[in-house]
Amino acid sequence: MREVAVVGVGMTKFGRSEFKSQLELFGEATMDAINESQLKPKDIQALFVGNANGDINEGITVLASHAAAEVGLNHVPAIKLEGACSSGTVAIVNAFMWIAAGYADIVLAAGCERNTVTPTPDATRLMNSGNHHRYEAGTGITFPGLFAMMAHMYAHKYNIPLPQLKEYMCMVSMKNHKNGAKNPKAQFQKEITREQYMSSAMIATPLQMFDCCPISDGAAAMVLTTTEIAKKLTDKPVKIVGVGQASSGGLSTQKDYSRPIAREISVQKAYKMAGLTPKDIDVVELHDCFTIAEIVATEGLGFFDFGKGAYALEKGETQMTGRIPVNPSGGLKSKGHPVGATGVAQGYEIVNQIRGICGARQVDGAKIGLTDTLGGPFASVANIIYQRGW
């Protein structure tokens, strides 16, 4: 396969977009990425767009084709990819494969979503459509309910009293809000205290409001090309050296919610392709849709032994200055979660961390970074490893 590099990234501010459609958000992030790459829209040979709910939220089908036209990518193959929350990462994986296989030389991967346009009851129903329509949807399970079950299962399995686990989940929330306060593109740019966390509304026991990521609008984009072309375009090269993707069935087919097996399979594919191990990773952006999800992900990705991720928080190992900094962007919890854009936004952060241009939230010496995006009821997982180039 040919080596693949990132030459341009772009991202809108995440939050509530009252006046810009998801296509306009896509255009903003995409043009920033193309301009940064020193290319023109006419140079792009294909487009992959991650988007989960654009057809329902704004009534846009054939979204990728409309997105291509939005920025002057006339007549290129334009493909929408949907993997719930992992949609954006799946878009990057497919762009990577087209270039690595020699089918195209310069490809744009992007993600966009405008979720806040939908009223809360409809948004809840829409998000719940990720569950199996026959065996799970009728039970009334919601995603907060699912991750609440994960927390109870984790506490029981590893003999951690629930009040103690709550303290660890609080540490996740406080850490990510602290990081997000340093990110000008984050939805929430404010730290929280333990008292604020503990007094917040109960959502699904034991998850409270500050355990849950928000509904968000936003877009992110990335221009990929061969390393040969990249050498002519950038002096801050970042290569994609490993990708992985895996899937699972619905909740009724999975035995242990504290160990999403699709993640373990996916990330091992990425490590194997890159020839790396978890010890080689300097920084990670992972899927903290709920605070318990971050704890579980740090174990599934291989950073800590199973059942030890919670204790690693107490030791500060996931802080900015810790052994493996987790979510320096603020993560989904603070940065926001516009579903289709999330995976590309994670890549945006890791690329800029490796470039060393993240300012107050810069991880010292970051050369290799990992992204982890989980979609639906652990049904779709994709991972990408980025590394400083030549």
Distance CA 176, CA 33 (A): 26
Residue 206, classed as helix, strand or coil, is coil
Question: What span, in angstroms and rounded, lies between the C-alpha atoms of 375 and 84?
Answer: 5
Question: What are the φ/ψ torsions at residue 230 (nearest 5 degrees)?
Answer: -60, -35
- Burial class for 278, CB neighbours closer than 10 Å (0-12, 13-18, 19+): middle
Contacts (Cβ under 8 Å, ≥6 apart) of 284: 301, 303, 324, 325, 326, 327, 369, 370, 371, 372
Q: Which residues are catalytic?
A: 85, 337
Dihedral, CA atoms, 287, 248, 80, 297, nearest 10 degrees?
10
Amino acid at the residue 385:
I
Place of tokens 């979720």: 115
Cβ-in-10-Å burial (0-12, 13-18, 19+) of 227 comes to middle
* Spatial CA neighbour of 117 closest among 3, 20, 2, 256: 20
Compute CA distances 113 → 10, 196, 205, 347, whole Å. 15, 29, 29, 16
